[in-house]
A and B are shown apart, each in its own frame.
Chain A
Amino acid sequence: AAGVIQSPRHLIKEKRETATLKCYPIPRHDTVYWYQQGPGQDPQFLISFYEKMQSDKGSIPDRFSAQQFSDYHSELNMSSLELGDSALYFCASSLGTEKLFFGSGTQLSVL
């Protein structure tokens, strides 16, 4: 069965650089979520989209932005990266308010 696909798997950036994370949800899923997980911490909700419109917004810094495109894939854009942005970034998708399916994540390291 198709799963949530995230790219890249690993990303290394310098401080103040920009990063773009991509997510391809499970086909026919209408909601996409972005979560940030620091080492040993719980996944923190960033933002979600339902049918390409923002539906929920969490603790997403102003330096970050996200969007969902017409083909339902989503991108998380992160600018002016800081050391504290180093984390595992997960994308998840769901059909309505059913369970979330998570991707394997993008490990971002900011040096």
Chain B
Amino acid sequence: EDQVTQSPEALRLQEGESSSLNCSYTVSGLRGLFWYRQDPGKGPEFLFTLYSAGEEKEKERLKATLTKKESFLHITAPKPEDSATYLCAVRGTGTASKLTFGTGTRLQVTL
């Protein structure tokens, strides 16, 4: 069974203070690792998909990286509008197409 563990559960940063979120996964054949952002009471919003170890993707202040066992979401010089819950999910070869999510990291960026 696919499993995803995210750390830390919560993170409080000051504006401009860079950090990284961790996503460790166990999957029977990775067919994609996904990062989503979720604001309270809203649906997850897609950020990145990574498929193979060594792959990196960037979007504004966010950069996602992937190894064979974990993924990192690096946040550079965050702003208050980056405050949200960041969810990691995997798709394994044992399923048709569903994603298995981690419990997320709640990020709060203060002035």
Chain A residues in contact with chain B, CB under 8 A?
Answer: 4, 31, 33, 41-45, 48, 50, 55-56, 58, 88, 90, 92, 94, 96-97, 99-105, 107
Contact = CB atoms under 8 A, between A and B. Distances in A.
B96 A43 contact: no
Contacts of A96: 97
The 7 lowest CB-CB distance pairs between A and B, nearest first, are A102-B43, A55-B96, A42-B101, A56-B98, A42-B103, A56-B96, A102-B44
Contacts of B77: none
A103 B87 CA distance: 16
Interface in B84-111: 87, 91, 95-104
A105 B104 contact: no
A42 B34 CA distance: 14
